[in-house]
Every structure is written in structure tokens, then in C-alpha cells.
Chains A and B, each alone.
Chain A
Amino acid sequence: MIGLLLAALFAQTAAAAPAPAAALPKPLAALADGKHKDGTPILTQKQRDTLAALPERTIKLLSDAADSMILGSPEELAALLSLDVQPQVLDLIATDNCVLCHADPMNQKPKALFSPDPKAAGSNPLLNLRELVSDVHFRAGLSCAGCHGGKPSDDVMPKEIATRWPAEEVRHTDRSWIPEFCARCHSDTQFMRGFNPTLPTDQLAKYKTSKHGELLLEKHDNNAAQCVSCHSVHGIRSAKSRNSTVHPQKVPETCGKCHADPEHMKGYLTSAGAPLPTDQVEKYKKSVHGQALLVKGDLGAPSCTGCHGSHAAQPPEVASVSQVCRRCHAQNGMLFDSSRHKKAFEEHKWPECGQCHGHHDIQKPTVSLIGNTTDTLCGKCHAENSKDNPKCNETAKHFRTTLDEMIAGREEVSGEVEHLAEMGLDIEPVTRSLSDLDEAVTQSKAKVHSFSMSTFDAAAKPGTEALQKSRQEIGEAHNEFQFRRRGLVGAIVFMMLLVAGIGLKLRELERSRKDSDKP
């Protein structure tokens, strides 16, 4: 199909005679000069300029379409030009009779009209021309026919349109045919290789294992998400495109369309039998991952799919949730595995990471979690589950005091640094020590996951040393300033002496002059 299309394109490009740039071919010129009933031109000046700037090839294709009356009205030409797309996309449109016919507001009922602004045109919101022309399938030359049947070159809509789909009465009431329909191509490795060889072809297989797939395919529950629920219908874009509904930064919103809607989620239960919550997206947005992805723009941070998977979306089970975290937090995972908590957590059947850090609402962990008092996470849990273990409490206390000391010390020192910088002192050594300290704080916070005093201390030691060093450097800077002040005072004293001496000398000079004047 593509080959044919390209061949047609080349043939037409080769055939296009060098025409004067200013003059449009007759059929197109007739459309371009179309006027409203009141005599005002239908094409705006901007659209006219866009038209004039199009390459010859595109003009020729549009003109051919106008000649065969498929590009049927000035209004349609205006709509196409208002899309502001590259000429190559216009070429695709101009050779696709489906689009040409369905985008003509003069020949098409609103119900079946593709318009750049469906709301204004009164048509179905799915029939958005702007979306359609940026659809990855359309751009790849698949055209409407790829899904609906028929051929883009057909002048009249053939009978076989939509015959690949279930009958109209069924297809809207039971959506379970959709995954299979998309999979006709997307599970065909041979076919997909011709478009995007790196794209996986296991989506359907995965989908069947997902909660969504289970509900839709087995229970025929139309509420369950299928392909178009997430990828949209006529505006499907690559996940790398920022406008895609499955771009990492858009995923929370896309999942939230259903999962944040209490009405939609009514009646669904967790594996424990409780009603499924609908506040995950809201929690996620406030979490450290949500902030990193949505606010800082760190595309490496996980969205919903980072933990749940996309096509195989499932809540991770207790056994696997910590493996999911370890994909990024590998070091902490390893430390935890070799700690004594590993066994204890297994006995309690607790999810490892989530037990302390939460899941959707994970916050940047602070030292306030650590400690032996019951207002801390460690202390509270140990008081409830592991009462007679003074050594644990001691360790927790040690973690907390060491970290507190480093953090408070940093605060104190950095407050001084600013002041010293203003006084013109060299703060480079201190900032260097402080960056060492920061690194040690990060490292020792991670080493908390070993729950071992010696492992923690090995990481914290450079930190306490750096803190000490920075304090010493601050002291040195203070001394330096003291030295400057003292030196200044000394110099001023000498200068004042000199000033006073000169003053006395002047007085004496005048007195002796008076004396010598007397006789």
C-alpha cells in the first residue's frame, strides 16, 4: 500500500511541470477564490499565504483532488490549510479520498464530519481532523482504510467498510473485540517490522494477563480499559511525543481518567476485599516520584506504569513490590536483603519497601522516620512487634543522632558561609567540605537499610569528619577576619599617631615663627 502511494507520489512529482509560482492551477484557484454569500473571501489571508508557500508537488495533488471534486468546497480547503501541518502531511491528505470526503463540511453530515474543531462543527469529538493528521498510523500512510477497510483511492465508499468489525449492535455493547482487532497488526512481528522494528509485539499477550484484560475478555466488562481507552482513537501518538496520552508525564492523568473516578470504580474490590481506592493519582502527584516526573521533568522517574506495568497492568504483589523498587533503588535493596529485617518481614508477610515508605504517596524520606521513640517509624513498629530488643533501639537511636548531628551541623555551617562570603573571605574550602558532607549524608541514609551499626558508621564517618573539617575551616575564616580587623586597627593607630605628630609639628612651627617674629 505504502509502496503504491510512494510510487504515485514520485510519478506525480516527476510529472509536475514547472509552473509559475504565483498562479494556482485552475481547479484549485477556483476553490481558493471562493467567497461567502456576503462577498467576503472564505480563505483568510493567512491561509492564502500558506497555500502560496506550498511546494509545487502539494499544489498539484490538491489541484488534482479539486479537479475530481473530492476536495469539494472552499470551506474544506480552508479547514485543511488551517491545520498548519508540513506539506508532506497535506500530500497524504490530498491523496486520501476517505479524508477528503469526510472533511468537507459542505458535503458531509455533522455526524460523519472530520473537522479541526468538532465542537464548533457540531460533530463527534472523536472526529477531530487535527488529531487525525497527527496520528502515528495516518503519518505512516495507513490511512483510514487500515482499520475501517476499503481503499483510500476509492471514489465511492465500498460495501466492505467496517465489515471486519462485529455488527454495529454488538460492537458498542461488548468491547472485547478491540484488543484482538489491534493485535491483527501489532502482534504480527512480520508486519510490524516494516514500520517500527523495535516496537514489541507482545501487547495482546500481556494484556490478557492484566487485570484489565481479565475483566474485559473473560467477564466482558466494558468498564475495563482496552487499547483505545489509553491510546485514544483517531489521535494515537508515539509514547515519546509530549502530546501523547501515554507519554510518561501524561500517564497519571490517563490512568486517572478511570482510576480517580469513584463512579467508574464503584464495585471493584482489592484482593483483600476492600473497595478499590480512587486517590492514587492524587497521592502520586504529591509523592517524590510524581514531583520528580511532573514538576522537575525528570523522565526517568516512574509514573504509574513504572511499577504496575502498562499492557500487563496489575497491582504488584507483596512478593514482587520490592523487586519493582529495586529496578532503580538497587543499592538499598541489596542492603536490605542482607539485613536481619529481611527474614522478619518475610515472616510477617510485609511488603519490604512499602512497609516503611508507602506506595503511591512515597515522600522523600527524612530522618524523622528513624529513632527509638514511638513517634518514629522504627520505634513505633518495634514497640508493637519486637518489644524486647534493646540493641535495635540503640542502633536506631545511633542512626538518628548521627544523622541529626550531620544535618544540623550542615545547617549551622552553611549559615555562616554566606556571612563569611559577604565579608570577602575565601569559602571554597568550606563549600568543598560541605559537599563531602552532603555526599556522606546521602550515603549513610542509604546505609540505614543495612540496619547494621558498622555498615552505617563506615558511611557516616567521612561525614562527621567533613563536618569537623568545615567547622575548622569556618574557624580559620573567622581567624582570618579577626586578623584583618586587628591589622587594620594597628595600621590606623600608626596613621593616627602620624596625623597627630604632624599636627603638633605644625603648631610648633607656627609658635617658633611667632617667636622669631617677636624680636
Chain B
Amino acid sequence: MPTNDTEPVRTRRSLLDLLLGVGFIGFAASALYPVLRYLKPMASAGPGGPLKLTADEVGKLAKEHSIITRLGTGRVLVFEDAQQNLRALDARCTHEGCTVQYVPGDSVIWCACHNGRYDLDGRVLAGPPPRPLALYGCTRDPDGSVTIQPPKKGES
């Protein structure tokens, strides 16, 4: 083989190797990145589940006797009754879906939209609501934190 031919062939070959190398490394990176991100555990893994109120929310609850918080996609009303028991109810009025509120003076849950009234277990007392509010589990742990548990049987 003539020597003047070898040089371009060699350059071409090393260029080709570079191309293959870059291509392979890039491909491997773009394939591995999603897989590694997928595998890395997330901060709060698992769908749904019980909710722990934040310190702010616990403070507000102590001060105002009731708060409204999110659980999944729903709203939950957490409140303290006259005996200082914590209770939690679905905050969406069963009539038109407005957010209800706790009226400590009357010991009722009240919906301002159409004057619907519920007792503290969510049963309808007066007004147009067709169904009772769903009752959530609510416990105060010894350290003062509050945990809310979704109703046992999830609505469809």
C-alpha cells in the first residue's frame, strides 16, 4: 500500500471512531438518564394516604378551632369541638360543593351557600344538602401533631 494513502485512511478511521464514540456515549446517556431518574426514590412515595398537618396548621387550629386543608384532591375541615376533641369532615357541601365552615357557637357545620347545616358528625340537620358529609379519621398524637385519615371506603 502506498504511504500517501495511509494518512487519509487513518484520519478517516479515527474520525469514524470519534463519531461512533460520541454517538454511543450520547445515546447511552440519554437512555440511562430517564432510567436513573425513574429509579431514584421520591420524597413522598406512594399514592394518597394519611396526611399530617403542618405546624402552622396545628397552630391555626388551636387558635381558631378549625382549619380547612387539602387531602389528595379534596378539602377537609378539621375542627375542635366543645370537648376539645378533634374531628375531620369532608369540607365540600353535598348540595352544591361549596366549602362548609365550623360554627363553634352553635356547634354546627354550616354551609353559607344555601344555609345547609350539619351536626358535628356530618349528619344533615337542616337545609338542602342531600347526603351527610364524609367523616375522616383524625387523631392527635402525643407529640401534638395531628394526622388525618381518609374515609375507609373511598367514594367513586
Give me the interface of A with B, judged by CB distance under 8 Å: 298-301, 327-331, 428, 431-432, 435, 439, 442, 446, 487, 490-491, 493-502, 504-505, 508
Contact = CB atoms under 8 A, between A and B. Distances in A.
Interface in B123-150: 127-130
Given A298-B128, A300-B95, A428 B73 contact: yes
B59 interface: no
B55 interface: no
B32 to A, nearest CB: 11
B69 interface: no
A442 B98 contact: yes
Given A446-B112, A490-B30, A497-B23, A431 B128 contact: no
Contacts of B23: 494-501
A246 B96 CA distance: 25
A330 B70 CA distance: 27
B62 interface: no
B24 A498 contact: yes
B129 A491 contact: no
Interface residues of B, number: 27
Nearest to B124: A300
Contacts of B129: 300
Contacts of A442: 98, 113
A501 B114 contact: no
A491 B30 contact: yes
Contacts of A301: 128
Interface stretch (B14-22, B38-46, B78-86): B14-22
Contacts of A499: 23
A494 B114 contact: no
Contacts of B16: 501, 504-505, 508
Interface in B73-116: 73, 95, 98-99, 112-115
A103 to B, nearest CB: 41
B113 A494 contact: no
A44 to B, nearest CB: 42
B31 A491 contact: yes
Contact of A329 (B26, B27, B114): B114
A19 B125 CA distance: 52
Interface core residue of B34, B70, B128, B129 (most chain A CB under 10 Å): B128
B115 A494 contact: no
Contact of A300 (B12, B98, B112, B114): B114
B26 A504 contact: no
Contacts of A508: 12-13, 16
Contacts of A435: 73
Contact of B20 (A428, A491, A505): A505
A330 B27 CA distance: 66
Top 9 nearest A-B pairs (CB, nearest first) are A300-B128, A494-B26, A498-B23, A497-B23, A491-B30, A331-B112, A501-B20, A501-B19, A494-B27
Contact of A330 (B13, B115, B130): B115
A224 B25 CA distance: 94
Nearest to A519: B1
A498 B20 contact: yes
Contact of A497 (B26, B95, B130): B26
Contacts of B27: 491, 494-495, 497-498
Contacts of A330: 112, 115
Nearest to B26: A494
A75 to B, nearest CB: 46
A465 to B, nearest CB: 15
A298 B20 contact: no
19 contacts: A298-B130, A300-B114, A300-B128, A330-B115, A331-B112, A331-B115, A428-B73, A431-B73, A439-B99, A491-B30, A493-B26, A495-B27, A497-B22, A497-B26, A499-B23, A500-B23, A504-B16, A505-B16, A505-B20
A336 to B, nearest CB: 13
A328 B110 CA distance: 11
Interface string B61-75: 000000000100100
Contact of A432 (B20, B24, B73, B113): B73
Nearest to A335: B112
A454 B115 CA distance: 24
B24 to A, nearest CB: 6
B98 A439 contact: yes
Contact of A331 (B29, B70, B113): B113
A331 B117 CA distance: 13
A328 B31 CA distance: 61
A349 to B, nearest CB: 26
A501 B24 CA distance: 10
A327 B19 contact: no
Interface core residue of A299, A431, A442, A501 (most chain B CB under 10 Å): A501
Contacts of A496: 23
Contacts of B95: 298, 300
B30 A494 contact: yes
B107 to A, nearest CB: 17
A435 B70 CA distance: 11
A242 to B, nearest CB: 16
Contacts of B26: 490-491, 493-494, 497
Contact of A328 (B12, B19, B127): B127
A500 B20 CA distance: 8
Contacts of A501: 16, 19-20, 23
A432 B115 contact: no
Contacts of B130: 298-300
A490 B113 CA distance: 53
Nearest to B13: A508
Given A327-B115, A446-B113, 8 more contacts: A298-B130, A299-B128, A300-B128, A497-B26, A499-B23, A500-B19, A502-B20, A508-B16
A329 B128 CA distance: 11
